[in-house]
Amino acid sequence: MYKNGPACSPLNPFYPAAAFTRDQRGCSVRDHADSKRAVSVASAGGQQFIVHTDTTRARVMAAEWGYSPTNGPDVWARLFPQAGGARQSPVDICTSIASSDSNLEMKKLTFAYESQSDLRILNTGHGWKVEAPQSGSRLEGGPLGEDIYQLEQFHCHWGETSAEGSEHTVDGRAYAGELHLVHWNTTKYQSFAEAAQHPDGLAVLGVFFDVGNESNDEIEKIVSTLSEIKFKGQFTDIPDVIDPTTFLPSGLGYWTYLGSLTTPPCNECVIWIVYKEPITVTEEQLVQFRCLSACSGEAEEFIVKNYRPPQPLGNRALRECNAA
């Protein structure tokens, strides 16, 4: 879901060093005094920007999926047939029907990640995404059997207020947001793209956000870059070291089920692992997420809501692991 703001001029993906200021919505913005330098850096980065006319832009936006009533989740299945399948995500996690599985307890879910710097963060037009391919990472055990999965990227979903935003819900309750760490099966497949075409191709860790008073330091590393990727298609590198392990809660109990991507084309290729315990972020950090724009520079269409509502679980098994 997007909200229109004041008209904006096309900007480049990298901004000159400048002090942060605040606009009337509370969004962090940069002063753009040295526009020549910004153009030069953008050119060196090799990215091209196309300024559309209003008419062309309307056609482009109409052709894209999104979160508005005209192109949102209710109509995705018309353009993306898998979105109407029987194995769709997210779902409402009804705790009373979740079965405890001793196999999950015996073969524990384990993970190993690398700390990385200069990861690329991108405004996709639907939210932010950090490209974090880690050939040395490993996610295995639990519902994944003997296969090894490798981290590819992570991204986030949020809502217009902190009373909503998570894609999965628990007994009907939504959280303020949900972080997804996306992995692919390197045991069976040669690439992420290939894996996404198979029922056991991807594994996604879902982590809920609760709002609190203490800023989340690792999330703040993401927030600090958002003013540089305000518009769709813009990207930059995160200068800080990111350790994906720090995104995970201290309690490692989880629910798991077979599902899909939660965005088009909604491939039914995901083994979902949703942690029971949320991590804490501040309202201010969520405000900065909502300041991203879905457009490429002509007008501000704020991404205030980018979650898909729960889909029917149907006859799929919902299992839980109460790992310590």
Spatial distance between the Cα atoms of 135 and 112, rounded to a whole number of angstroms: 11
Catalytic site residue from 32, 126, 155, 180: 126
pLDDT of residue 16: 32
Rounded to a whole number of angstroms, the CA Rg of the chain reads 20
Q: Verify whether residue 126 is a known catalytic residue.
A: yes
pLDDT of residue 47: 29
CB 159 within 8 A of CB 82: no
DSSP state of 153: E
In the chain, where are the structural domains located?
2-321
Question: Which of these, 129, 125, 134, lies nearest to 238 by C-alpha position?
Answer: 129
Which phi and psi (to 5°) does residue 123 adopt? Answer: -90, 110
Average pLDDT, 10 consecutive residues per value, the chain (324 residues): 42 33 58 32 29 37 77 95 97 97 91 93 97 93 97 98 97 98 98 98 98 94 96 96 95 96 98 98 97 83 96 98 79
2-321 in CATH: which number? 3.10.200.10
Q: How many CA atoms lie within 13 A of 193 on its CB side?
A: 0
Question: Which of these, 294, 302, 293, lies nearest to 160 by C-alpha position?
Answer: 302
The backbone region for 83, taken as left when phi is positive above 0, alpha when psi lies in -120 to 50, beta otherwise, is alpha
5-64 per-position pLDDT tens digit:
433 333 332 233 333 445 655 676 554 333 222 322 222 233 222 233 343 443 433 358
CB 260 within 8 A of CB 147: no
Residue 233: burial class (beta carbons within 10 Å; 0-12, 13-18, 19+): middle
Name every residue whose Cβ is closer than 8 Å to that of residue 292 and which is 6 or more positions away in sequence: 123, 127, 128, 226, 229, 230, 302, 303
Q: Where are the alpha helices (DSSP H) in 141-295?
A: 192-195, 217-223, 283-289
Spatial distance between the Cα atoms of 92 and 172, rounded to a whole number of angstroms: 6
pLDDT of residue 28: 63
pLDDT of residue 23: 60
Residue 303: burial class (beta carbons within 10 Å; 0-12, 13-18, 19+): buried
DSSP state of 116: B
Quote helix, strand, coil % in the chain, to nearest 5.
Answer: 20, 30, 50
Neighbours of 211 (CB within 10 A): 19
User: Which two three-digit tokens encode residue 254?
Assistant: 């989880």
pLDDT of residue 227: 96
User: Which two three-digit tokens encode residue 21?
Assistant: 């200021």
